[in-house]
Chain A
């Protein structure tokens, strides 16, 4: 009896943990890309990790946010799968900013109104010395976790692809270093 009950509880735990399993794989994939974690915020179905990008002339930080939408229970998992919103945000940091940048900020804010992040559109935001490019997508967690090395590779490609696109958007906004 104990065996059956504990087996049931264990399966439920693993099912509920899929988003954490994915976050673990994201952290590992980012370390392999030379990005070290410099901030964690994590609770039940929401995880956000900030990564510092080492040895990149453009990018300063990358933020990855995973917000689980479904699949924590056995029934919802069977019906809807394990869906989550994955948001990737890349940040460049300029050593100096001035009022002209604020003007640029209003332009990008206006453009953002017509962009849908979840449809793969990239939004730009200015904040003091930083400029952010952000994109969001709904993913199926099961495509990436508990699939062995192919799942890990698929995740690494997804991250690389999106970070590369965000970086491309940010290049024009990067100013020279203070030196």
Chain B
């Protein structure tokens, strides 16, 4: 039998907090907003204590109550929704674009930083994914070069393993010393036996024509270290890493072939 329910002074409790006193209309509003559930407790003046709302007659009133009419969107609402769909589409488009060009941002940063350190770009080839850059310091005629290959083009790959490039960093010095050239040439022949270099594999190259000897190493670099959200770049970090590589390779080259004349 349905209990008599007053129109005001109603209380409902859920999850340790209670609401009330409420009118019947306010209770129906809470129901429409999904703020009342079967386990909620119910009480009004005159009742001996709290009872599960499911067991009280008011439950029937709630279940039978019609849902609140949906708000009819205005012309402004339509335009706002259309705008947000468009904005979201562009956000996705830009995200995909950024993922595919992060290596180009890195290459530009590498050029800017290397030039700031007194080198000039003397050779560049690029097909969009494979980049080759060679720089020379015209004061001492030393050279550095980078061969960069973007490995993770898609956003999904980047989220899974990070944004990686395979990079070969090389350092070279010009020499007129035949013994030094010959020593590097022998190393180059031995380097030829290495079929697939791994990180840390150091190889040599001698350019007899222009009198250059080179040493190079294979690595994998993480782009997030240098290029962030919205193409924000960290040139200082790149400078530090490039300096470390150049310094070590120079030492290695001189250690193996003798000091520059």
- Contact A9:B209 (CB < 8 A) given known A25-B115, A36-B233, A41-B126: yes
28 interchain pairs, CB-CB under 8 A: A2-B178, A5-B211, A6-B174, A6-B210, A9-B211, A13-B122, A14-B138, A20-B121, A21-B121, A24-B124, A24-B135, A25-B115, A27-B111, A32-B112, A36-B108, A36-B109, A37-B104, A37-B108, A37-B111, A38-B104, A38-B105, A39-B104, A41-B128, A42-B125, A51-B108, A95-B87, A95-B90, A178-B83
Contact A10 B141 (CB under 8 A): yes
Alpha-carbon distance A5/B209, docked complex (angstroms)? 7
Alpha-carbon distance A27/B176, docked complex (angstroms)? 33
A141 within 8 Å of B (CB atoms): no
Alpha-carbon distance A3/B261, docked complex (angstroms)? 12
A28 within 8 Å of B (CB atoms): yes
Interface residue tally for chain A (C-beta within 8 Å): 41
Given contact pairs A17-B123, A179-B87, enumerate 14 new A-B contacts (beta carbons under 8 Å).
A5-B211, A6-B176, A13-B210, A14-B138, A17-B136, A21-B121, A21-B122, A27-B108, A31-B233, A40-B126, A41-B126, A50-B104, A95-B87, A179-B83
Contact A178 B107 (CB under 8 A): no
> Closest chain B residue to A21 by CB distance?
B120
A70 within 8 Å of B (CB atoms): no
Q: Shortest Cβ distance from A146 into chain B, in angstroms?
A: 8
Q: Shortest Cβ distance from B155 into chain A, in angstroms?
A: 16
Contact B122 A23 (CB under 8 A): no
Contact B211 A10 (CB under 8 A): yes
Write out the residue numbers on chain B whose beta carbons fall within 8 Å of the beta carbon of A112.
Answer: none
> Closest chain A residue to B131 by CB distance?
A40
Interface band, chain B: 35 or more
Contact residues of B between 169 and 195, Cβ < 8 Å to A:
174, 176, 178, 181
Write out the residue numbers on chain A whose beta carbons fall within 8 Å of the beta carbon of B115.
Answer: 24-25, 27-28
> Closest chain B residue to A50 by CB distance?
B104
A128 within 8 Å of B (CB atoms): no
Write out the residue numbers on chain A whose beta carbons fall within 8 Å of the beta carbon of B255.
Answer: none
Contact B230 A54 (CB under 8 A): yes
Query: Of the candidates A20, A32, A179, which one forms a contact with B123 in the assembled complex, judged by CB atoms under 8 Å apart?
Result: A20
B127 within 8 Å of A (CB atoms): yes
10 closest residue pairs by CB, A with B: A24-B121, A37-B108, A6-B211, A17-B122, A40-B126, A178-B86, A31-B112, A38-B101, A3-B176, A9-B210
Write out the residue numbers on chain A whose beta carbons fall within 8 Å of the beta carbon of B233.
Answer: 31, 36
Contact residues of B between 77 and 130, Cβ < 8 Å to A:
83, 86-87, 90, 97, 101, 104-105, 107-109, 111-112, 115-116, 120-128
A130 within 8 Å of B (CB atoms): no
B50 within 8 Å of A (CB atoms): no
Query: Of the candidates B87, B128, B210, which one forms a contact with A39 in the assembled complex, judged by CB atoms under 8 Å apart?
Result: B128
Contact A95 B86 (CB under 8 A): yes
> Closest chain B residue to A11 by CB distance?
B210
Contact A42 B126 (CB under 8 A): yes
> Closest chain B residue to A129 by CB distance?
B90
Q: Shortest Cβ distance from A32 into chain B, in angstroms?
A: 8
Between B97, B111, B122, B123, the greatest number of chain A beta carbons within 10 A of the residue's beta carbon is seen for B111
Contact A10 B87 (CB under 8 A): no
